[in-house]
Amino acid sequence: MFDRQHRPSRISVAGIVLLSVALAIIPFVATTTGLRQASQIIISVLAVLGVNVAAGYGGMISLGHGVFVGVGAFATGYYLDDLSLPWLLAIALGTLTAALSGALVGLPALRIKGIHLALVTLGMAIVFQPLSKRFPKVTGGVSGQGIEARFDAPNWWPGDSRMTSAVYRYLFCVLVVVLALWVTWNIVNSRFGRSMRALRDNDTAAAIYGVDLVSARVTTFAVSAGLAGLCGALQVLLVPFVSQDKFPAQESLVIYASAVVGGLGTIWGPVLGVIARTAVGKAGDLVAGFDGFGPMGDFFTLLDESAFVFGVGLIVLTFFFPRGLAGIGRKRQPSG
C-alpha cells in the first residue's frame, strides 16, 4: 500500500520518468493510426483500474467489467447523437451512467461475496452481448452503429490536418488517464479508501469500527464501474462507432487478468498490466511473422493470442507472485 512509510521508490520514479518520456515521444513518431492505437491502449488502463478498485481495494472480485465499458460506450454514443450533447458533457454523463449501473450491481454484492460474486459478474459478462442486441436504438443491434459527432481539435489548436486532431485526442486521453489515476490514488488513500480496505480485510471488524457497509460497498462498485465506463466513453471518442461485438465475455476476463497480472491493490498495477498486455501482443506479432520454428511453430503461434498468454500468466503469477508484477520487487507484507 502507499502511505507515508512507502514513498515512491527509486524504481517507480525511474519508471514514471521512462513512461513520461515514451508518452511524449509517441506523437512525434507515430502515424495517425498508430496514435489512435496508442490512445486505445492508454485508455484501457481505466478499465483495468476499475477492476483494481473493486477487487484490489474493495475485495470484490469482478469478472464483468467489460460490461461497464460497454455501458459507458453505448451511453456516450446515445448522449452525443440522440440528445446532441457536447462531448465533455456526454463523456461525463456516460461515465455517470456506467457508475449508476455499477451501483446497481453493487447492491447484490452486499450479500453475495467472494467466489459467488465472481460467478454472478461472469454471468453478467456473458449475458451482456445478447442483451445489448435487444436495444438496437442505443447499441445498433447486431452490427453496431456509427456515431456522427467527431471529437476534433478546436480552432485555437495549432495546425489543421488529420494528424492534429489525432494528437489532440491522444493528449486528451493521456490527460484523462493521468487525472483518473491521481483521483483514484487520492480516493484509496482517503478516509473512504481506508474504510474500503477495512471492508476487504474484515467486514465485521470494519462495521464495528463504524464503516457503513452498505454505502461503502455500493460506492466502491460505482467508482470502479465509473472508471470502466470512462474507458468506454473515450473509446467512442477515438473510434466513433459502437457495437456489441467489442464486448465479448473474454474481454471482461482479459481486463480482470490484466488487473491481477499488474498487481491488485497497487496504483501502478493497472499501468503495468496494460504494458504487459501490449508487450505480449507485440511479441506475439513478431513471433507470428517469423517462420523458422519447424514443427514447434504451432506452439509459438499461441503467443500471438494474448488471451492465452494472459491465462497462463494469471496461473503462473498466482503461484509465484501473488501480488502481481507491481509486487515483484516489493518486500513481502502481511497479505490482506
Partner 1 sequence: MDLVLLLQRVFDALFNSAIYSSLALALVIIFRSTGLLNFAQGEMATFTAYIAFVLLSGPQPRLTGGGLAGLVPGVPFTIPLAIVGAVLCGMAVGAATERVLIRPLGGASDLALVNITIGLLLATNSLMAQWWGTGPRIFPAIFPSGAGQHFTILGARLRYSTVGVWIVLLSVLVLLIVLLRHTRTGLAFRAVSISPSNAELVGVRVGPTLMYGWAMASGFGALAACLSANSVLLEPNMMLRVLVYAFAAATLGGLDSPKGALVGGLIIGLSQTLIPAYVPFIGFELSVLPALLAMVLILLIRPAGLYGTKRIERV
Contacting partner 1 within 132-191 (CB under 8 A)? 133-134
Buried b vs exposed e over 122-147: b needs ≥16 C-beta within 10 Å? Answer: bebbbebbeebbeeeebbbeeebbeb
253, 267, 274, 275: residue in contact with partner 1 (rule CB under 8 A)? 253
160: Cβ contacts below 8 Å, ≥ 6 apart: 153
Biggest CA-to-CA distance, the chain: 64
Q: Helix-strand-coil percent breakdown of the chain, rounded to 5?
A: 75, 0, 25
Closest CA to 189 of 267, 250, 87, 282: 267
180, 254, 267, 326: residue in contact with partner 1 (rule CB under 8 A)? 254
List, in sequence order, every residue forming a beta bridge with 242; answer none if it has no partner: 145
| Contact pattern for partner 1 over residues 103 through 142, marking x by CB under 8 A | -----x--xx-xxx-xxx-xxx-xx--xx-xx--------
Q: Is 315 in the site for partner 1 (CB under 8 A)?
A: yes
List, in sequence order, every residue forming a beta bridge with 146; answer none if it has no partner: 241
Residue 34 or residue 311: which is nearer to partner 1 going by CB? 311
Measured at the CA of 250, the angle between CA 244 and CA 252, to 5 degrees, comes to 80
297, 328, 329, 333: residue in contact with partner 1 (rule CB under 8 A)? 297
Q: Are 78 and 242 in contact (CB under 8 A)?
A: no
| Contact pattern for partner 1 over residues 4 through 33, marking x by CB under 8 A | ------------------------------
Q: Are 47 and 65 in contact (CB under 8 A)?
A: yes
| Contact pattern for partner 1 over residues 267 through 286, marking x by CB under 8 A | --------------------
Q: Select from 16-24, 164-172, 224-232, 252-260 the region that touches partner 1 (CB under 8 A).
A: 252-260
Measured at the CA of 229, the angle between CA 191 and CA 306, to 5 degrees, comes to 105
Q: Is 100 in the site for partner 1 (CB under 8 A)?
A: no
Q: Is 334 in the site for partner 1 (CB under 8 A)?
A: no
Residue 260 or residue 326: which is nearer to partner 1 going by CB? 260
Q: Is 55 in the site for partner 1 (CB under 8 A)?
A: yes
List contacts with partner 1 (CB under 8 A): 55, 61, 63, 108, 111-112, 114-116, 118-120, 122-124, 126-127, 130-131, 133-134, 204, 249-250, 253-254, 256-257, 260, 264, 295, 297-299, 301-302, 304-305, 307-308, 310-315, 317-319, 322
